Amino acid sequence: MRTSLAEKLLAKIMEWTPEEIDQERPLMQAMANLKWNEYQQFAPGTRFLESLIKWLQQFETLDERKVGYRLVRDHLIFVSSEQMAHLVDILFSEKINPLLIKKTAVELSLSPYLVSKIKNDKLYAQNRRKSLFIGLSDGSRIDQFRRGAYLNNEQVIATYSIGPEKVKDMLQNLEKDIPDSKFKTVFLIDDFTASGMTYCRPDGGGKLGKIFTSIFKDGETFYGAVDHESLEIHILFYIATTDALHNIRRGIEGWKKSKGLNFNCTVDCLLEINDTSKQKITSDQELMSFMVKYFDGSVVDEHYEKGKHDLPFLGFNECCLPIVLNHNTPNNSVAILWMPADKKYKGLFPRISRHREDKYED
């Protein structure tokens, strides 16, 4: 659809006066060009403006369309690929390096503020080499991270489920560089968490349990590759909500207790999202009733029900986020932003679900 035609349609369905067009059109154009057009799950050929028009058209009254438009204009937080790349680039210097310096400082009995002295010591280089970096999903962009931080190929892996051969290979390479050594620090990296449920679930499931088992259970993949004496595990996200960080920390403590293990483990992120944006949405009654009305209950499946779901329109675990990531919208965002195209009401940035329900048999 030609942009001018799309803009004409938008002005028509929003019943904008010329004065409103003056204000809204430059804004929509600028934001679409800057970020919104790059959403990867738009159908081929579709750009933001078309999606916005189709999205607004499904709302019955002008007032509802205005509420929908307001959600986009005033609340939406879109994380572009460029913004995410920036977070990837700074993760090492902002979060990882300080941890390595601190660890080395303790071992050298130096104050952690003597940065140059610590970094010039070979122990720092060794600690850096003895770190293992594991990406927890595609979103972790671990390849870009490795190149930006100048890390050895043999200490960075894109997934935690790898074969014992690969681990053996990595260990041999490490021993070539530093004889008789094992990995002392493990960094687990992912892009985004809103509820923390993917990592630690109340029922004991989640990614972290699996990874910890593969590290601490004799005979499992990583058991022989790490130095259990001085092992540190750091879980790092580019973006996380405050709630998710709490939940994960709590989950880890629970896991440690249940297994009778004690090890140094931290959870941190570069960009922490507190509940201000959630409160802004939930305190807006007009917006809340709009979201109740335009919710398709069929998105609630067994996976969805693992989180809180009394107000399912607020997204998975009622996180109520206004966030869209350039490659996919998290299901923790408000549902009207992401509901897939096959539902009664469609999201503005339709989401590709991780748990597809394709039917292969009658």
Partner 1 sequence: MKIRNPFLLRASERIESDAGFLRLYSPLVLDYFIDNMDAEELWNTFLFIRSSPGAGKSSLLRLFEPASLLTLLNRKSGDEFKELFKRLKKLNAVSDDRINVLGVNLTFTRNYELLESFSGLQPGVRDRLFYSLLNSRIITASLRAVLSLARLKFPEDLHKIEFNYKDEKLYFKKITVPCDGRTLYEWAADIEKTIYELLDSFLPISPASIEGHSELFSLEVIRPEYMLVDGKCLFDRVLFMLDDVHKLSSKQRDGLISHLMEKRSSTSIWLSERLEALNNLKTNRGRDYEELNLEDYWKERESKFEKLLTSIANKRAAESREDVEFALDAQQNELELADAYKEAKIVLFATISKLSQETIRFNEWKQYLEQFDGTEQEYCELAKQIEIIIHRNLARSELALEYTLSVQELIEKIDEKVVQAARLFLSRQFNLPYYFSMATLSKISTNNVEQFLGFAAPLYERMLSLNLNQTSVAISAYVQDKEIRKIANQRWKDLDKMIPESGLVIRFLENFCAYCSSETFRSTAPYAPGVNGFHIDATRTIRLIKEEEWLSNDIFIDLQTVLNTCLAFNLLHVREVMQGKKGQKKNIYYLNRWLCVKFGLPLSYGGWRTKKPDELLRWIKR
Give the burial string for 284-295 (b: 16+ CB within 10 Å, else e): beebbebbeebb
Shortest distance (Å) from residue 259 CB to partner 1: 57
Q: Which residue has the tokens 């307001």?
A: 70
Contact call for residue 2 and partner 1 (CB under 8 A): no
Longest CA span, the chain: 74
Contact call for residue 54 and partner 1 (CB under 8 A): no
Contact call for residue 73 and partner 1 (CB under 8 A): no
| 11 versus 114: smaller Cβ distance to partner 1 | 11
| 5 versus 271: smaller Cβ distance to partner 1 | 5
| 26 versus 204: smaller Cβ distance to partner 1 | 26
Contact call for residue 29 and partner 1 (CB under 8 A): yes
Residue among 198, 203, 200, 222 at smallest CA distance from 332: 198
Q: Are strands 77-79 and 323-325 parallel, antiparallel or unpaired?
A: parallel
CA dihedral for 325, 345, 277, 242, sign (positive or negative): negative
Contact call for residue 4 and partner 1 (CB under 8 A): yes
Contact call for residue 11 and partner 1 (CB under 8 A): yes
| 35 versus 146: smaller Cβ distance to partner 1 | 35
Contact call for residue 37 and partner 1 (CB under 8 A): no
| Secondary structure (H, E, C), 57-126 | HCCCCHHHHHHHHHHHHHHCEEECHHHHHHHHHHHHHHHHHHHHHHHHHHHHCCCCCCHHHHHHCHHHHH
Sheet holding 232-241, edge to edge: 156-157, 131-135, 185-193, 232-241, 264-273
Candidate residues 1, 13, 14, 18; the one interacting with partner 1 per rule CB under 8 A: 18
Contact call for residue 25 and partner 1 (CB under 8 A): yes
Candidate residues 1, 26, 82, 228; the one interacting with partner 1 per rule CB under 8 A: 26
CA dihedral for 104, 106, 107, 112, sign (positive or negative): positive
Shortest distance (Å) from residue 201 CB to partner 1: 49
Of the ranges 7-15, 72-80, 197-205, 246-254, which one interacts with partner 1 (CB under 8 A)?
7-15
Candidate residues 1, 8, 94, 257; the one interacting with partner 1 per rule CB under 8 A: 8
Q: For 342-357, give the DSSP string.
A: TSSS--SSPPPPSS--
Contact call for residue 202 and partner 1 (CB under 8 A): no
Please classify residue 224 by burial: count the beta carbons closer than 10 Å to its beta carbon, then call 0-12 exposed, 13-18 middle and 19+ buried: middle
Shortest distance (Å) from residue 1 CB to partner 1: 15
Is residue 133 helix, strand or coil? strand
CA dihedral 181, 184, 190, 195 (to 10 degrees): 150
Shortest distance (Å) from residue 2 CB to partner 1: 11
Of the ranges 1-9, 161-169, 246-254, 326-334, which one interacts with partner 1 (CB under 8 A)?
1-9
Shortest distance (Å) from residue 22 CB to partner 1: 5
Shortest distance (Å) from residue 16 CB to partner 1: 8
| 23 versus 57: smaller Cβ distance to partner 1 | 23
Contact call for residue 283 and partner 1 (CB under 8 A): no
Contact call for residue 19 and partner 1 (CB under 8 A): yes
Is residue 149 helix, strand or coil? helix
Of the ranges 19-27, 100-108, 137-145, 311-319, which one interacts with partner 1 (CB under 8 A)?
19-27
DSSP 206: S
First to last CA, the chain: 39
Q: Which residues bind partner 1 (CB under 8 A)?
A: 4, 7-8, 11, 16, 18-19, 21-22, 25-26, 29
